[in-house]
């Protein structure tokens, strides 16, 4: 009971502040690494009060080029390091010490929580095939990894990458009559390629396609299996997924929001599916969602999450600046991601990759973001944000 009182009191205290505060969870040289990048965030219990925050630790000489000299190249040393994680059992108010999930040369990864078996699935790209880790105690311990042994069908190659961030579990109550026939399915955002792998993080990537790794709900006493399903449009790389409200019963409707590596970058890609991400049939560029294009990088990893159903709210997070990774902004959609009429700047300084998670009954969200003063990756921070803070003093988005 005392822990519940502490949690409620802490959240009320957060709500009373003028602006949500950023709390540092990973800082270069605080732990074993001189650089932390690419954070992800996940809730791991039914009450949505337990959180896992991940970051990629890197042994590099420079985490990001300074703002004052953006033409400086990134460090050429390799990115040997590991995946670090911290846990919170009080909705992000406090964080337990960092623990190492994996050590070695890694890059992209994505995580999802299976509510039916209380299992966290982690897909991690290493120098070997993508590895699958599982945890049945909310990240306290992790299984020995096994390789992901499935690949997308031709013409796509085996050069697959997990997208940075979180996956989703399909739920019943977003389908008509609360009858999603694919409820319990897990969807993980991936990157597929139909040619050589992408050479870097700037320029266009004609071989890149955002895609979905899917696991249908298994029968009793059977383990989950994985297959590749929906493919988004060409030039899309890292993406995140949201289940949208459907007016017809049957399979879930899925919205994909992706990083734009086309010859005309600067705005986010989207794709939509009406059959549970088996296929995407509607594609486009959202001119209201800006992402920065700099000398060193094209776009960023952004996040989308469903906050509530009645009213329908989806949150988008990412920098709102066309040429600098800065001005980190939260946006709300009330029409399943078609428009984003409400926005609020959470951090006006340098900022880049982010992820989001919904807390409790949807009155608060947790946001993890790269941010800093000298570079956009001086630290990785978490903010606990009341949804009312975004809406109460919001600004209208200019399309």
The pTM score is 0.92
Q: State how far the Cα of 138 lies from the Cα of 224, in Å rounded to an integer.
A: 18
Exposure letters 337-372 (e unless 16+ CB within 10 A, then b):
beebebbbebbeebbbbbbbbbbeeeebbbbbbbbb
Residue 3: inside a domain, yes or no? no
Residue 158: inside a domain, yes or no? yes
What does each of the 399 residues of the chain score in pLDDT, given as a tens digit? 444 434 544 454 444 457 899 999 999 988 789 999 999 999 999 999 999 999 999 988 778 866 534 444 443 445 679 999 999 999 999 999 999 999 998 989 999 999 999 999 999 998 778 999 999 999 999 999 999 999 999 999 998 999 999 999 999 999 987 789 999 999 999 999 998 665 578 889 999 999 999 999 998 888 899 999 999 999 999 999 999 999 887 899 999 999 999 999 999 999 999 999 999 999 999 999 999 999 889 999 999 999 999 999 999 999 999 999 999 999 999 999 999 999 999 999 999 999 999 999 999 999 999 999 999 999 999 999 999 999 986 554 322
Closest CA to 253 of 291, 228, 233, 282: 282
Burial of 322 (0-12, 13-18, 19+ CB in 10 A): middle
Residue 289: inside a domain, yes or no? yes
Instruction: Give 272-287 pLDDT, tens digit per residue.
Output: 999 999 999 999 999 9
Residue 15: inside a domain, yes or no? no
Residue 121: inside a domain, yes or no? yes
| Cis ω before 347 (30° cut-off from 0) | no
Closest CA to 210 of 325, 355, 91, 110: 110
Report the CATH number that the domain containing residue 38 is assigned in CATH.
2.120.10.10
Residue 79: inside a domain, yes or no? yes
Q: State how far the Cα of 90 lies from the Cα of 9, in Å rounded to an integer.
A: 11
Segments forming the whole domain that contains residue 41: 22-391
Residue 249: inside a domain, yes or no? yes
Task: Record the tokens describing residue 195, joined without a space.
Answer: 């040619």
Residue 387: inside a domain, yes or no? yes
Q: How many domains does the chain have?
A: 1
């Amino acid at each position: 009971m005392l822990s519940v009182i502490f949690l409620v009191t802490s959240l009320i205290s957060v709500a009373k502040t003028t602006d949500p505060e950023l709390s540092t969870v990973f800082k270069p040289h605080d732990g074993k690494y001189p650089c932390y990048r690419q954070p992800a965030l996940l809730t791991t219990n039914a009450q949505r009060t337990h959180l896992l925050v991940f970051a990629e630790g890197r042994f590099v000489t420079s985490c990001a080029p300074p703002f004052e000299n953006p033409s400086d190249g990134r460090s050429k040393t390799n990115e040997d390091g590991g995946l670090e994680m911290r846990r919170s059992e009080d909705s992000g108010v406090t964080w337990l010490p960092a623990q190492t999930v994996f050590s070695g040369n890694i890059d992209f990864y994505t995580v999802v929580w299976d509510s039916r078996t209380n299992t966290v699935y982690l897909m991690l790209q290493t120098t070997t095939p993508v590895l699958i880790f599982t945890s049945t105690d909310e990240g306290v311990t992790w299984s020995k990894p096994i390789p992901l042994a499935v690949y997308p069908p031709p013409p796509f190659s085996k050069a697959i990458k997990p997208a940075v961030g979180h996956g989703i579990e399909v739920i019943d109550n977003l389908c008509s009559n609360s009858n999603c026939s694919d409820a319990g399915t897990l969807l993980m955002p991936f990157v597929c390629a139909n040619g050589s792998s992408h050479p870097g993080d700037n320029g266009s990537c004609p071989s890149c396609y955002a895609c979905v790794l899917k696991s249908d709900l298994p029968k009793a006493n059977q383990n989950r299996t994985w297959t590749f399903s929906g493919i988004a449009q060409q030039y899309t790389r890292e993406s995140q997924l949201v289940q949208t409200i459907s007016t017809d019963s049957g399979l879930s409707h899925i919205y994909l929001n992706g990083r734009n590596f086309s010859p005309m970058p600067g705005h986010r890609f989207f794709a939509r599916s009406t059959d549970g991400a088996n296929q995407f049939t509607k594609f486009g560029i959202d001119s209201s969602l800006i992402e920065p294009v700099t000398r060193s990088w094209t776009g960023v990893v952004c996040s989308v999450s469903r906050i509530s159903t009645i009213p329908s709210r989806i949150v988008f997070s990412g920098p709102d600046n066309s040429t600098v990774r800065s001005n980190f902004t939260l946006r709300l959609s009330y029409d399943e991601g078609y428009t984003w009429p409400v926005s609020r700047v959470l951090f006006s300084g340098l900022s880049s990759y982010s992820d989001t998670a919904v807390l409790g009954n949807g009155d608060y969200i947790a946001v993890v973001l790269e941010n800093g003063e000298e570079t956009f990756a001086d630290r990785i921070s978490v903010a606990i944000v009341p949804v009312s803070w975004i809406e109460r003093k919001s600004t209208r988005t200019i399309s």
